[in-house]
Structures are given as structure tokens and as C-alpha cells.
A = this chain, B = another copy of it.
Amino acid sequence: MENIKAIIEALILSSDAPLPLDKICAVLSETRREDVKTAVAELTAEYDQRQSGISIQEVAGGFQYRTRTEMAAWIKKLKNVKPPTLSAAALETLAIVAYRQPLVKSEIESIRGVDVSAPLKGLLDKKLIRIVGRKDVPGKPIIYGTTKKFLEVFNLKDLSELPTLREMKELQLQGEAKDEVQEESREETKD
């Protein structure tokens, strides 16, 4: 078992992108998947326990060595570069793509209420979103979705890790309250 852990550490370090469990299992073909899973979990716990400055984190469907967030200030001191930033327009656009994907530009614009050409281009350049196809309607608009890199950059295991939109909960709660109080102004907007 000890040896498996050492191999996994080496595999994760040698991989440029987050390393999926499947690939680890493909390499450790003699080992049962369950055991590989346990080894990864134990390793992760060990790094945490010893309060190492680095940890094995699950992002974008794979495992990767990453520094702990508490270390950010020190690394910034070392690198002496400004961290990458996204404008509010880019973040809003990205959030809409992330939650509503796959979708076309006009759908993003109807939510934001403004033209989104500039933020879209920026997000494509940064490879946070990508073209996933074309919609089969007149004009064949381009359909956008998020990339694996989006998950890597935002430290997400997968898209399901995104928190549910607050709007949904609020609308439901509000709907219930309204039913009780004012009968007449009920909004039964069908979607």
C-alpha cells in the first residue's frame, strides 16, 4: 500500500493537468480501483495532517498538487506579479455561461441587458469558455460552454459543485408567501 501511495504522488506531480482517477487506475492496473481510491484519500489526509504548504486537491475531475490558500501572500511576494483579474462584466458573463450552458450570445445578453461581445471574446481568449457548436436556428448562432480550464481556475471538482442559484430559492419562498397574503397578484408566469 505504501508503495502505491508513492507512485500516485509521482504520477500527480508528473502530470501537467489535474490527473483523473481513471488514469491512475489505468497505470496501476494490478490494483483494485477501490484501493487506489483509498490510497488517494489517505494521501490527501496525510498532507493536510502534517500541515504541509502543498496539498492534493481535486479539481476539474482530477487530482493536482496545489498550494494552500494561506500561502498565497508568500507566493505573491516571490512571484511579484499581479494576479490575473476578471472584470465585473467578464465575471457576470462567465457566471451566466457556467449556469445556463450550453447557450448562445443573445441569451446571455437578454440576462445581462447589455451587449456581451467584449467579455465573450476575453473569456474565449482566456480559455474559460469555448465554442461547443452551433444552434440549429436561422443564423446558426454559436453555442458557448465552459471549459475544463474554468474548473481548474475556479478550483471546482465539476460543474455540480457550483452553488445553486439563489434566485430559485427566493422565487419559491416568495411565491409561497404571496399565495398566502395577496391572492390577486399571483404571478403564474409559465416558462
Bound form: Cα–Cα A20–B176 in Å? 38
Contacting A54 at CB < 8 Å: which of B9, B28, B66, B155? B9
Contacting A118 at CB < 8 Å: which of B77, B121, B133, B174? B174
Interface residues of A in 117-164 (CB under 8 A from B): 117-118, 120-122, 124, 131-134, 140, 142, 155-157, 160-161, 163
In the complex the two chains form, is A117's CB within 8 Å of B178's CB? yes
Whether a CB of chain B sits under 8 angstroms from the CB of A14 is: yes
Which of A118, A156, A172 has the largest count of B CB atoms less than 10 A from its CB? A118
Number of identical monomers bound together in the oligomeric complex: 2
**Given A54-B10, A184-B114, are A81 and B171 neighbors across the interface (CB < 8 Å)?**
no
| Nearest-CB residue, chain B, relative to A24 | B78
Taking CB atoms, residues of chain B closer than 8 Å to A140 are 160-161
**A82 to B: closest C-beta gap in Å:** 8
Q: Name the interface size band of chain A.
A: 35 or more
Bound form: Cα–Cα A67–B157 in Å? 25
In the complex the two chains form, is B74's CB within 8 Å of A11's CB? yes
**Given A26-B81, A118-B175, A157-B133, are A184 and B89 neighbors across the interface (CB < 8 Å)?**
yes
In the complex the two chains form, is B161's CB within 8 Å of A53's CB? no
Sorted from nearest, which 5 A-B pairs have the closest CB atoms? A9-B53, A118-B178, A6-B53, A10-B53, A121-B175
Residue numbers of A with Cβ under 8 A of B are 2, 5-11, 13-15, 19, 23, 26-28, 51-54, 65-68, 71, 74-75, 77-79, 81, 89, 114-115, 117-118, 120-122, 124, 131-134, 140, 142, 155-157, 160-161, 163, 167, 170-172, 174-175, 178-179, 184-185, 187
Q: List, sorted by A's number, 23 A–B pairs whose CB atoms are closer than 8 Å.
A: A5-B53, A6-B68, A7-B74, A9-B52, A9-B67, A10-B67, A11-B71, A13-B54, A13-B66, A13-B67, A14-B79, A27-B74, A115-B174, A115-B187, A117-B175, A118-B174, A118-B175, A118-B178, A118-B184, A121-B175, A124-B171, A131-B163, A133-B161
